[in-house]
C-alpha cells in the first residue's frame, strides 16, 4: 500500500484524536463520579470558579475537547482534499507549562483558563 505524506498525517491526526478521546472520557468519568458522590448539581460542579477542588481537571477536560475539535478540523480538511501534512500533531500530551490564558465556554458560562 502506498500512502502519501498527507495520508500519513491523517493517520497521526486520528491516532492522537482517539488517544485524547480516551483520556477525556476517563477524566469525565472521574469527574462525574466525584459529582455524584458530592451530590452537586451539574452546572455548579462543572464551574471551575465554584469548584476549586476539581478546577484543574475541569479545565483539562475542556483543553482535551478543544484539541479533539482541532484534530477533527484537520481530518475534515483532508477529507475535502486539502493538505494537512504541514500541521504538527503531538503524539503525547504536552508537558504542563504556563500556557496563555484562553476563554472556555461551558454550560453557558465563559471561564478564563490559565
The predicted pLDDT at position 97 comes to 47
What is the domain extent for residue 23?
A: 5-86+99-113
In a domain, 94, yes or no: no
Q: Read off the pLDDT of residues 24-78 as tens digits, 9 standing for 90 and up.
A: 999 999 999 999 999 999 999 999 999 999 999 999 999 999 999 999 999 999 9
CA atoms within 13 A on the CB side of 44: 7
In a domain, 57, yes or no: yes
User: Structural domain tally of the chain?
Assistant: 1
Which one, of 106, 108, 98, lies nearest residue 28 by Cα?
A: 106
Q: Which one is predicted more confidently, 28 or 111? A: 28
Q: Does pLDDT of 83 surpass 80?
A: yes
In a domain, 93, yes or no: no
In a domain, 91, yes or no: no
1 SS3 class: coil
The helix (run of H) or strand (run of E) holding residue 112 is strand 109-113
In a domain, 18, yes or no: yes
Which one, of 92, 3, 10, 102, lies nearest residue 62 by Cα?
A: 102
The predicted pLDDT at position 103 comes to 45
Nine-digit cell at 62?
475542556
Nine-digit cell at 32?
462525574
Amino acid at each position: 500500500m502506498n500512502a502519501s505524506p498527507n495520508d500519513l498525517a491523517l493517520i497521526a491526526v486520528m491516532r492522537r484524536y482517539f488517544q485524547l478521546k480516551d483520556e477525556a472520557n476517563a477524566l469525565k468519568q472521574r469527574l462525574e463520579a466525584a459529582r455524584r458522590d458530592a451530590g452537586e448539581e451539574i452546572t455548579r460542579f462543572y464551574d471551575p470558579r465554584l469548584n476549586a477542588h476539581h478546577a484543574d481537571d475541569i479545565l483539562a477536560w475542556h483543553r482535551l475537547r478543544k484539541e479533539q475539535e482541532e484534530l477533527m478540523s484537520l481530518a475534515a480538511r483532508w477529507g475535502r482534499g486539502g493538505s494537512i501534512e504541514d500541521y504538527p500533531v503531538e503524539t503525547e500530551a504536552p508537558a504542563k507549562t504556563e500556557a496563555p490564558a484562553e476563554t472556555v465556554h461551558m454550560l453557558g458560562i465563559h471561564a478564563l483558563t490559565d
